[in-house]
Amino acid sequence: GFRCGIVGLPNVGKSTLFNALTETASAAAANYPFCTIEPNVGNVPVPDPRLGVLSGIAKSAKIIETQLGFVDIAGLVRGASKGEGLGNQFLGNIREVDAIVHVLRCFEDDDVTHVEGRIDPVSDADTVDTELMLSDLESLEKRVPALAKKGMQGDKEAKVAAAVLGRALDLLREGKPARLVVPGDEEEAKALHAAQLLTGKPVLYVCNVAEGDAAEGNALSAAVAKKAAAEGARSVVISAAIESEIAMMDPADRPDFLSELGLTETGLARVVRAGYDLLGLLTFFTVGPKETRAWTVPAGSRAPQAAGAIHSDFEKGFIRAETIAYDDYVAFKGEAGARDAGKFRSEGKDYVVVDGDVLNFRFNV
């Protein structure tokens, strides 16, 4: 599945956030008997109000959310790119995730030591970004000339990679992340993706504020929001302390607790959804009397690929996808009504799945 890595300096609230995420996940784990549990990885259900609407219409016995993986990546300190702390291991762990959730300390608390001795989330973010950029810079300074040489010797793939990674190297030399590279075509996009640059991954800044600031944020989180906007990144405000309280609470008591704090949903729900957006994923649904279930595929996926998200046999033997758009399914109160209204479509292997599609696959076994 898709994974977000939680990073940040020590003592900013990463573990508190990760534990709150996985607390929620273990409460939901009954729905996922086949998922393996790794200590620093949590698969977290993606909240989606459309599931309740669809299952209400179809009178499904249960709802199953789609999931997003979170990985707790500890060990970043200044100098990581030079092997300080758990430097190399840390950078290797980041390489394996699809997106970065960067936690920043935006709360004051004299009892919690700050590794740099002052509360300044924008400069913390720069410290972490600098380590990631130095690591990419160092690896590209070796790789780009080697690729260029191979390219000159007639290796076409190496030539494409040398061109696009060369532009990444230029940006890094100016102190800018590789995520700002615009690939010229699909080949370049592939080469860039395959290079797994640390600063090429999408970033979500999570501002960890004091409980009282959870609803509105504070001056520190506002400064982070400004930085994020300037970089084309995103930011959300949460209070990790509140989230860990909520995670341990009886679900029935959560709405009242949230509304007392001026919140309409948990910060975790916002982090999970933002992670999902960050990765460019979309959701489709399968709906029946047994269950209404959400599934994840990358935006732009075609019907057979969506079938493969459910089972590889569905993709191999794909014949067609019976499709009803979410809005049509709701407006015409289910499959029968949608059929009568002419909104039931039979789509072939080139169909590009749309977010919210209710799909039923026909396949050969």
**Cβ of residue 10: shortest distance to ligand GDP, in angstroms?**
4
Q: Which of 70, 90, 107, 332 binds ligand GDP (CB under 6 A)?
A: 107
Q: Rounded CA gap, 53 and 121, in Å? A: 40
Q: Which of 2, 14, 133, 320 binds ligand GDP (CB under 6 A)?
A: 14
Is 301 annotated in a binding site? The answer is no
Is position 218 an interface residue for ligand GDP (rule: CB under 6 A)?
no
Nearest CB to ligand GDP, comparing residues 51 and 103: 103
- H-helix or E-strand containing 136? helix 121-152
Is 75 annotated in a binding site? The answer is no
Residue with the two structure tokens 């067609």: 320
Q: Rounded CA gap, 5 and 100, in Å? A: 5
Is position 12 an interface residue for ligand GDP (rule: CB under 6 A)?
yes
Helix (H, G, I), strand (E, B) or coil at 344: coil
Q: What angle do CA 141, 181, 120 make, to 5 degrees?
A: 85
Q: Which of 2, 5, 13, 99 binds ligand GDP (CB under 6 A)?
A: 13
Q: Where are the beta strands (DSSP E) in the chain?
A: 3-7, 41-45, 62-64, 67-72, 99-105, 203-208, 234-238, 281-287, 291-298, 318-324, 345-347, 358-363
**Cβ of residue 231: shortest distance to ligand GDP, in angstroms?**
22
Beta pairing partners, 62 = 291
Quote the DSSP letter at residue 199.
G
Is position 206 an interface residue for ligand GDP (rule: CB under 6 A)?
no
Is 227 annotated in a binding site? The answer is no
Is 13 annotated in a binding site? The answer is yes
Q: Which of 63, 122, 180, 210 binds ligand GDP (CB under 6 A)?
A: 210
Is position 16 an interface residue for ligand GDP (rule: CB under 6 A)?
yes
Nearest CB to ligand GDP, comparing residues 104 and 168: 104
Binding site for ligand GDP (CB under 6 A): 8, 10-16, 107, 109, 112, 208, 210, 239-241
